[in-house]
Structure formats: C-alpha cells, structure tokens
Chains A and B, each alone.
Chain A
Amino acid sequence: DVKVTQSSRYLVKRTGEKVFLECVQDMDHENMFWYRQDPGLGLRLIYFSYDVKMKEKGDIPEGYSVSREKKERFSLILESASTNQTSMYLCASSLPATSGQGGNQPQHFGDGTRLSIL
C-alpha cells in the first residue's frame, strides 16, 4: 500500500514564525501535492510538484513556498506565518498520467497536519 507520511498531526506556531510542514511518500511517486482544507471552502491546492526541483503554483500559493530536493519528500514552507493560515494541511502523491485516453493515477493522501497560528 502507498504510504504518505506527514511529520506532525498537530502543530502550534506563532505569528511571524517560519513554519515547515514535511511530507514523505514511499512509493516512488513523481507527483506530489499540498492542499489546505477549511470549513465551507473545501480542499484547495496550494502547490504541486511533478519532479525533483520542479514546482507549480496551485490555486492559493500566496504566503507559501515549497521545496522538492528529493523525490520522496515535499516540504511546504510558511515564510512568515499569519493567523489566516490556521488550517488543516494535506499532502498527496501520485504516479504520472499513463498514456492513452483518460489515463491517470489516483492521488493518495496523508493523514493531515492541523496547524494553528496564534
């Protein structure tokens, strides 16, 4: 089974701190994703990466950056944490799309990190 591991289940930080959220997957997946989940807003994509050292912005990248130095690890960085970044953060990974019409691979998610910014 695919295992996506997020380093912390719960995290409390202060406004202005630099925060690192770590995600590791053990299935050699090329694609990795960071989402945040908020009541009433659902899941929104922050950043994703389809290869080592490659990254693309999702729908809400402002205030965040990412790092993918190794294939198995994708880090989300809050450069200067603010209270509106209090949220549930979910990491996911997947294989690249296969060839052929409609071919694609499911995304597999970690258990999430509930981050509170005070």
Chain B
Amino acid sequence: KQEVTQIPAALSVPEGENLVLNCSFTDSAIYNLQWFRQDPGKGLTSLLLIQSSQREQTSGRLNASLDKSSGRSTLYIAASQPGDSATYLCAVILGGSARQLTFGSGTQLTVLP
C-alpha cells in the first residue's frame, strides 16, 4: 500500500528565507504528484502538479521537483513571506487508478515577520 511521508511536521523560519519541504512515497509507480496548501479551517488549494514524466514544475516563487526512482519530491519556496504560513500537503496518484490521491500528513509552515 502506498505511504506518503512529509518531513518535518512543522517548520518555522524568518521572513525572506528560502526553504525546502520534503515528501517521500513508498511506491514509485506513481501517475503524478500534487502539492497543496491548506489554511486553517479551510479546504485545499492546488499549488503544483507534476506528471510522472516530468522532473519539476514552477509557479512564481514555488518550485516542485520529482525523483520517481528515489520516491521523493521537494517543494522549494523562495523568499518566504508571512502570507506563506500554512500547512503544505503532498499527494500522489498511483499508476492505473488515475483518480485516487494518497496524502501525506503535511508540513505546518510558519514564516515569522
């Protein structure tokens, strides 16, 4: 069964720092990997989706990479801002199902002004 792990569970950084969030998965036969952001008491906002044939995706200050062979993905946030404070979740879809996401437990990020 696919397991998705995110380390660290919580991270606190000063404003302006570049940071990396980590996601690992046990079954490398994934279809794609998606990064989400969740603000307290809210739903999930899709940030980036990386297909299995891709190695990275970029959106503004965010860059997500994917290494299927090692079962890892990273989310890089450049020049962090207090507004980036949220919980970041990664999720994978296994090849074949093309529908069902398996989520990690998230990294709670706090960016201090």
Contacts and interface: CB of A to CB of B under 8 A. Distances in A.
Interface stretch (A13-21, A68-76, A106-114): A106-114
B69 interface: no
Contacts of B52: 101-102
B43 interface: yes
Interface string B26-60: 00000110101000011111100101111000000
Contact of B100 (A4, A48, A101, A105): A48
A42 B88 CA distance: 12
Interface string A50-81: 10000000100000000000000000000000
Given A109-B43, A110-B43, A112-B43, A102 B100 contact: no
Contacts of B89: 42-43
B81 interface: no
A90 B106 CA distance: 16
B101 interface: yes
B98 interface: yes
Nearest to B54: A102
A21 to B, nearest CB: 13
Contact of B46 (A107, A112, A114): A107
B25 interface: no
Contacts of B101: 33, 43, 45, 107
A42 B98 contact: no
Contact of A50 (B91, B93, B99, B106): B99
Contacts of A103: 51
B51 A102 contact: yes
A111 B38 CA distance: 10
Given A97-B31, A97-B99, A109-B46, 20 more contacts: A6-B43, A42-B89, A43-B91, A43-B103, A44-B103, A45-B101, A94-B99, A101-B52, A102-B31, A102-B51, A102-B52, A104-B31, A104-B49, A104-B98, A107-B46, A109-B36, A109-B43, A109-B44, A110-B43, A112-B41
Interface of B: 31-32, 34, 36, 41-46, 49, 51-54, 89, 91, 93, 98-101, 103-106
27 contacts: A31-B99, A33-B101, A40-B105, A42-B89, A43-B91, A43-B101, A44-B103, A45-B101, A50-B99, A90-B43, A97-B31, A101-B53, A102-B31, A102-B54, A103-B51, A104-B31, A104-B49, A104-B98, A106-B34, A106-B46, A107-B34, A107-B101, A108-B46, A109-B36, A110-B43, A111-B42, A112-B41
